[in-house]
Amino acid sequence: MMRADHLLRRVAASLIVIAGVLTLTFVITRVLPSDPAQLIAGQRARPEQVAAIRSQLGLDRPLPEQFARYLAGLAHGDLGRSLVTKRRVAEDLGIFLPATLELVLCGFALALIVGIPAGILAGANERGAFDRVTGVAAILGAAAPVFALALLAQQVFFNQLHWLPLNGRLSAEVSLAHPVTFVTGFLLVDTALTGNWVAWRDAIGHLILPALVVAVYPLAIVLRMTRNSMVDVLHQPHITVARAKGLPERIILLRHALRNAILPVLTIAGLMFAYAITGALFVELLFRWPGVGKYVADAIVAKDFPPILAVTLVSTTIFVGVTFTVDVLRAALDPRVTR
């Protein structure tokens, strides 16, 4: 298990990372050549009207004071109010964040379910046909641009085969005929909880293509990392001894090799999950997926700073939380991690 001092160091490092990213993002949004007060007032507003709004928002105060006010609001759970939607950012995130998490979790689960077993088989059959095929596939998957994969998937499965819908999270006709009662914000969960199976099947159809695109890059990396790690472990002396004792290859792979091989895979899997969240931005734009990626992209175009800061904070917190959890799991499997 992770020692208390190591745990405290990791917690402190995580908090420093979150604070650093938040501070940097806040400063950047304030020094950019744009005026949120002018955005709110409109282009035809008189200077005194813009100045009044700037004073109301506190934008005329020194930068350290603005940051202190922002932190005070965060301490009370206030993420600010969008300059465009006029809603509280926390309310917007409550709508858009579950959509992004549902997409990323499904795509990442697919990457692990396919990538780890494929990597184990490739490592166990080093330089075999399966190893060579998966190696080429992993290289292509890691190198292919997300937008190219998305456009190719839409062309094949929507335009050519007519198997899957083009974009969105739910068909308009299904939304009207079978409206969804939102409980958690996760469409698959909510439709199942309420027994709305027509909407559930439609939601699955809309999720498949973007989830596949999200899964490609993490799958390729996890597959190759698992394969390389298995190859290294299978060449170690204790595996040779196990084979000399006549143990079945399946037992050697699952009991003796996989436990050691999975440690570096855990690390890269955590990083890939964090990457999938940030990489989902392009997927959401291309598939018109109503998630955080599209929300922050619209905010960037409109120079709507409160949503940008909030999404940065949430994304960084998720990233740090995932890496921290991976560290704890690695320490539980290998005490040497805490050295």
Selection from 329, 327, 270 nearest residue 9 by Cα = 327
Q: In this structure, how many other beta carbons lie within 10 angstroms of the beta carbon of residue 155?
A: 11
Is 260 contained in some domain?
yes
Q: Answer whether 122's CB lies under 8 Å from 197's CB.
A: no
CA separation for the pair 278, 314 (Å, rounded): 11
- Report which DSSP code applies to 335: G
Domain that holds residue 150: 4-15+88-338
Residue 99 lies in a domain: yes
The rounded distance, in Å, linking the Cα atoms of 292 and 212 is: 18
3 state SS of 79: coil
8 A C-beta contact, residue 213 and residue 149: yes
Residues 258, 120: contact at Cβ < 8 Å? yes
Interatomic CA distance for residues 247 and 329, integer angstroms: 28
Whether 49 maps to a domain, the answer reads no
Cα Dmax for the chain: 87
Residue segments in the chain with a per-residue pLDDT below the cut of 70: 1-4, 6, 31-43, 45, 50, 53, 56-60, 256, 332-339
Which residue type occupies 242?
A
Residue 270 is assigned to a structural domain of this protein: yes
At CA 223, angle to CA 228 and CA 214, rounded to 5? Answer: 150
HEC string of 211-276 equals HHHHHHHHHHHHHHHHHHHHHHHHCCHHHHHHHHCCCCHHHHHHHHHHHHHHHHHHHHHHHHHHHH
The pLDDT value given to residue 207: 92
Q: For residue 201, what pLDDT is reported?
A: 92
Domain-embedded: residue 302: yes
Q: HSE (CB half, 13 Å, CA atoms) of 334?
A: 15
Name the one residue in this structure whose structure tokens are 């989902």: 280
Taking alpha carbons only, the member of 26, 49, 39 closest to residue 83 is 39
Residues 285-302 have pLDDT tens digits of: 888 888 888 888 888 877
Total domains in the chain come to 1
Query: Phi and psi dihedrals of 88, rounded to 5?
Result: -65, 140
- Say if 43 falls within a structural domain: no
Question: What is the token pair recorded at 7?
Answer: 């745990």
Q: Write down the pLDDT at residue 34.
A: 64
Q: Which residue type sits at 215?
A: A
- Extract the tokens encoding 159: 């335009």
- Beta-bridge partners for 81: 88
Helix (H, G, I), strand (E, B) or coil at 42: coil
Q: Looking at residue 6, what is its pLDDT?
A: 67
Q: Please report, for the domain that includes residue 128, its CATH number.
A: 1.10.3720.10
Query: Is 20 part of any domain?
Result: no
